[in-house]
Amino acid sequence: MGKVVTFGEIMLRLAVPGHLRLGQSGEFSATFGGGEANVAVSLANFGIPASFITRLPDNDLALWCLKDLKSHGVDTCAIIRGGNRMGLYYLETGAVARASKVIYDRAHSSFSEILPQMICWEEALKDATWFHWTGITPAVSRNAAQTCLEAVKTANRMGITVSCDLNYRKNLWKYGVPASEIMPELVSGCDIIIGNEEDAEKVFGIKPQGFKASEGKTDAAAFHPVCESLMKKFPRAKKVAITLRGSLSASHNTWSAILWDGKKMHTAPVYDITHIVDRVGSGDSFAAGLIYGLITYPGNDSRALDFATAASCLKHTVYGDFNRVNVQEVETLMAGDASGRVNR
């Protein structure tokens, strides 16, 4: 089985306990997270060989991070070293009508100062069959965007499947060039496009009609034209997947997804998540689940979608960025067992 390679920034995550506000707590819970690293960890947990590529400083925080990634079975051999600091993000977890809040501290991080040609992509992708990136990476800096483009073009030349999660983050696009100018060239090299209910609108101006996430409804039919428009805009794409989150409150969401393969629309079950432990990383867990499903169930897009949706539903019950669940747990939920009864 060929490996999946992901590329992006991993950060130290500092979260206040429980549902306290940032100004209330005198302590933080420290873990690691980042879109592409989250995908690599999930895939490794599912038994897929996964390699994560980034740039880290040469200090003890980076060593701690590498140890953590390796503990999940992620290959870190292609990570390059340099720069002075890891990026950070601070998390305040919301509740009921109060939304969660993320504050980024990643300016001048080692990854943001990466330069094109620092990574030999032919070597890094040598044994890969899949390459995955997210829209967070080109948002960090112009050079990160150019480095990501190097990777995408190299993967295309090598015949490697390329997937992207559009992952629009308005608080990151600060270096003077909008996402609408940077993302098209990158996405044009992708075979699989993933997004949430807002990404296509925020990045490409493609929006569904009559959809309101705040109403808690996941109307799959409203996103059929969005999928068709994305595939028309990016003809290389063979599949488009969109997660559908209905936000009833910060603590209560509905969750589903669709997958369009150019001929048929596949729709996942709708999960009613009445108590969210941690929703950060749920989109990444969906992307990882979809990659796993498309690799493991070739020709069965419906099962691949169901696996991805169930995996990401379970992520809402797991603290931290990483989705610490296995294939059996996902398949149990897919089979309809959402009871949460103790396994003895």
Classify residue 209 as exposed, middle or buried by CB count within 10 Å of its CB (0-12, 13-18, 19+).
Answer: exposed
CA 247/CA 54 separation, integer angstroms: 33
Q: What is the pLDDT of residue 229?
A: 95
CA 155/CA 306 separation, integer angstroms: 27
pLDDT per residue over 205-237, tens digit each? 998 877 665 566 667 888 999 999 999 999 999
CA 269/CA 83 separation, integer angstroms: 45
Q: What is the pLDDT of residue 278?
A: 93
- In three-state form (DSSP H/G/I as H, E/B as E, the rest C), the secondary structure along 16-35 is CCCCCCCCCCCCCEEEEECH
Q: How far is CA 79 from CA 61, 106, 120, in A?
A: 14, 18, 11
CA 294/CA 308 separation, integer angstroms: 10
pLDDT per residue over 41-54, tens digit each? 999 999 999 999 99
C-alpha gyration radius of the chain: 19
Residues in contact with 63: Cβ distance below 8 Å, sequence separation at least 6, in sequence order: none
- Which of 303, 280, 283 lies closest to 292, judged by CA? 303
| pLDDT averaged per 10 residues in sequence order, the chain, 344 residues | 93 94 91 97 98 98 98 97 96 91 93 97 97 97 97 98 95 90 97 93 88 66 92 97 92 94 95 93 96 96 97 96 97 82 55
Question: Nearest-5° angle of CA 315, CA 319, CA 323?
Answer: 35
- pTM here is 0.95
Amino acid occupying residue 224: H
Q: What is the pLDDT of residue 37?
A: 98
Class of domain 3-334 (CATH, top level): alpha beta
Q: What is the pLDDT of residue 131?
A: 98
* DSSP, res 88: E
- In three-state form (DSSP H/G/I as H, E/B as E, the rest C), the secondary structure along 50-85 is EEEECEECCCHHHHHHHHHHHHCCCECCCCEECCCC
CA 135/CA 140 separation, integer angstroms: 9
Q: What is the pLDDT of residue 197?
A: 84
Q: What is the pLDDT of residue 297?
A: 96
Question: Nearest-5° angle of CA 328, CA 333, CA 336?
Answer: 130
- List the chain domain ranges: 3-334
Q: What is the DSSP string of 185-243?
A: HHHTT-SEEEE-TTHHHHHHS---SS--GGGT---GGGGHHHHHHHHHHSTT-SEEEEE
